[in-house]
Amino acid sequence: MSPDDKPLAYDAYEQLAERYARLIDTKPHNAFYEWPAVLALLPDVRGLRVLDAGCGTGRYTAWLLDHGAQVIGIDTSPAMLRYAQERTDGRAELRLADLSHPLDFLSDAAFDLVLSALVIHYVEDIDALFAEFRRVLRPEGLLVFSTGHPFGDFLYFKTENYFATEAVGAYWRGFGGEPIYVPQYRQPLSATTEALWRAGFVIERLTEPLPTEEFKRADREHYDELMQLPAFMCVRARRVERE
């Protein structure tokens, strides 16, 4: 793989994989903030076919399997997928795939649910991504995803134009060890909502989570911060037919 072919944040996640797998269940921003907010948007998954798009080390994949779903997980990082394989013990089909390219190996209308947790901000062309999610979903299928909050990202990255879609990045220190630079894209809320509309989705819920009491006990400083300024947003959208 040449440097030009690498997905955004590929190198970062290859370096982070071991720490990510070890800490993801207890790191407050994930375990006590994003995780419960996403679970609150999911339907009863028993018997559903689910695509875990950007499955990482398999935390959501394992939960879906434990709750009766049939799951295919995809991710761009071989290292992350190895940990996902260990966590799911072979119960899910896991594939190496780049969400910035068509998912040609997946059939049309193959899934009841697409789950994509903290992933879409690594894809520049979300119109194409949402179009692929629509293609692989059955009619009336659901897309549930979390991503950086547009307003929180605008303030955090100190950019000049809220309405611009732009490449940004930050050094992650929350997983211990040497800080790792993680690039991503930042864009306004309307870029996401309009891309969903153009792809043929209707938003059923858009939530701005608040940290839980567990977060407060684990990290009071960031708890107080998140009670005033959002870091993530979570969306549940339905595939619909429109004239």
Tens of pLDDT, residue by residue over 145-167, are 999 999 999 999 999 999 999 99
- What is the reported pLDDT for 176? 87
Question: Residue 1 above 90 pLDDT?
Answer: no
Tens of pLDDT, residue by residue over 105-122, are 999 999 999 999 999 999
Distance CA 76, CA 6 (A): 9
CA angle 116, 180, 118 (to 5 degrees): 10
Q: Which of 160, 153, 155, 177 shows the shortest CA–CA distance to 27?
A: 177
| Residue 243 confidence class, pLDDT cut points 50, 70, 90 | low
Q: Give the start-to-end residue ranges of the domains of the chain.
A: 3-239
Which residue has 């966590």 as its token pair?
87
Superfamily of domain 3-239 in the CATH hierarchy = Vaccinia Virus protein VP39 (3.40.50.150)
